[in-house]
């Protein structure tokens, strides 16, 4: 898709256009990240002109660019693949040049991205965002303006220094995950009995339909587990994707977790597959290892996922700001389950 939308900023008479990525934008995007974060932004792709151009061409990233009157880059938002399912894209890595802020650029980039660009891309079936929880503004925008449904909360996900010169707090930052469906895929999911009520509340608000059953089956004998671990050393985060769990899950998972902890990960996240009838058994094994509830992840494996998490650092629940009653209820459930995990 190509095309631009034009807005005039207020209160200063700055004019900008918003459109899709052009190779000529790549150097300006790198300079924008340097202006806001210096050389410290952890995703190095944005500083590499050729790599960013290739990522846009291949569909790994889509850059939505705001340009000033001289076609200089003054803002950017991104869609990118971060989940196991290739047609689920995350929106994020957005920023605006300081002197252009408070003039509607970010809102226009998001509107263009979610209302014009994504509907034109058949390869994108669902989007989600991880809104920071040290202020409510992006959460409200994603949910109210761009029709995303909050389904999960990642506690203490990112160190504050990730946000560079705009460091919001001395501790770690939580994020609220919200999803929007563009291409519905009704399918059957199985809820762990212990989380049935919490998950049913989430699914009652979802913008896609599910056939819901309870997970009561045993882990299948003789079936090997699939566990893929991604380590983010700068954030001390380990993410363990479990598209398939089998009879060896306990042993395989213990090995993967021990490796993550040896690499100094202090935030451990696990994605279980809710389309497996025995997912409840896998969740129970994690609970015994100190993991607690995180929420639902629609279309994570194409079918839905369940987020469970474990902290080897103090959670800053008191610093989490949430904009909706549903999200606040989710936080209450997570805090209660975290407290249970500390006692086991």
Instruction: Return the pLDDT at 344.
Output: 76
H-helix segments, the chain: 26-37, 49-58, 105-111, 137-140, 196-204, 249-262, 279-288, 325-342
Could you tell me the two tokens for 186?
């009704």
Residue 142 phi, psi (nearest 5): -60, -40
Instruction: Return the pLDDT at 168.
Output: 60
CA distances from 12 to 8, 15, 71, 98, 263 (A): 9, 9, 18, 13, 49
Q: What pTM did the predictor assign? A: 0.93
Instruction: Return the pLDDT at 9.
Output: 45
- Give the CA dihedral 132, 135, 137, 140, nearest 10 degrees: 70
Select 1-119's CATH number: 3.40.50.720, 3.60.150.10, 3.40.50.620, 3.40.630.30: 3.40.630.30
Residue 233 has a CB neighbour count (10 Å cut-off) of: 11
Map tokens 């699939």 to a residue.
226
Topology alike, domains 1-119 and 187-342: yes
Distance CA 176, CA 324 (A): 11
Pick the closest to residue 54 from 81, 26, 92 (CA basis). 26
Residues forming a β-bridge with 240: 229, 270
Cβ proximity of 85 and 302 under 8 Å: yes
pLDDT-flagged residues of the chain (< 50): 8-11, 13
> DSSP of 256-318, one letter per residue?
HHHHHHHTT--EEEEEEETTSTTHHHHHHHHHHTT-EEEEEEEEEESEEEEEEEEESS---GG
Pick the closest to residue 308 from 344, 284, 329, 332 (CA basis). 284
- Widest Cα–Cα separation across the chain: 68
Distance CA 75, CA 68 (A): 9
What CATH number belongs to 187-342? 3.40.630
What count of residues does the chain have? 344
Distance CA 109, CA 192 (A): 39
Task: Establish whether the linkage from the previous residue to 283 is cis, with ω within 30° of 0.
Answer: no
Domain layout of the chain by residue ranges: 1-119, 187-342
CA distances from 141 to 135, 138, 144, 315 (A): 12, 5, 5, 26
Query: Mind listing the pLDDT tens digit for each residue in 131-180?
Result: 999 999 999 999 999 999 999 999 999 887 765 555 566 679 999 999 99
Could you tell me the two tokens for 122?
């058949």
Could you tell me the two tokens for 221?
């004998």
Instruction: Return the pLDDT at 15.
Output: 85
Determine how β-strand 4-8 pairs with β-strand 237-244.
unpaired
């Amino acid at each position: 898709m190509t095309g631009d939308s034009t807005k005039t900023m207020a209160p200063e008479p700055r004019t900008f256009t918003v459109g899709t990525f052009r190779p000529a934008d790549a150097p300006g995007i790198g300079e924008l990240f340097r202006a806001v974060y210096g050389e410290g932004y952890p995703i190095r792709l944005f500083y590499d002109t050729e790599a960013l151009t290739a990522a846009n061409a291949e569909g790994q990233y889509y850059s939505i660019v705001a340009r000033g009157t001289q076609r200089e880059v003054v803002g950017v938002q991104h869609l990118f693949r971060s989940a196991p399912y290739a047609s689920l894209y995350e929106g994020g890595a957005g920023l605006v040049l300081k002197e252009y802020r408070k003039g509607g650029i970010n809102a226009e980039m998001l509107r263009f991205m979610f209302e014009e660009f994504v509907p034109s891309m058949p390869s994108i079936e669902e989007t989600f965002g991880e809104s920071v929880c040290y202020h409510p503004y992006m959460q409200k925008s994603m949910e109210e303006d761009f029709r995303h449904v909050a389904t999960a909360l990642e506690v203490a996900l990112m160190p504050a220094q990730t946000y560079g010169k705009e460091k919001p707090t001395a501790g770690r930052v939580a994020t609220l995950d919200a999803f929007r469906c563009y291409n519905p895929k009704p399918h059957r999911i199985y809820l762990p009995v212990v989380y049935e009520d919490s998950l049913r509340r989430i699914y009652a608000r979802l913008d896609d339909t599910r056939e819901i059953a309870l997970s009561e089956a045993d882990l299948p004998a003789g079936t090997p587990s699939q566990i893929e671990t991604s380590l983010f050393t700068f954030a001390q985060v380990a993410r363990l994707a479990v598209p398939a769990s089998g009879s060896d899950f306990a042993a395989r998972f213990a090995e993967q977790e021990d490796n993550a902890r040896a690499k100094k990960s202090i935030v451990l996240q696990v994605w279980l597959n809710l389309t497996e009838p025995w997912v409840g058994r896998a969740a129970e094994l994690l609970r015994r290892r100190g993991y607690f509830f995180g929420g639902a992840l629609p279309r994570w494996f194409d079918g839905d996922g369940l987020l469970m998490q474990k902290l080897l650092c103090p959670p800053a629940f008191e610093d989490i700001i949430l904009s909706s009653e549903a999200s606040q209820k989710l936080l209450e459930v997570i805090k209660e389950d975290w407290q249970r995990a500390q006692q086991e």
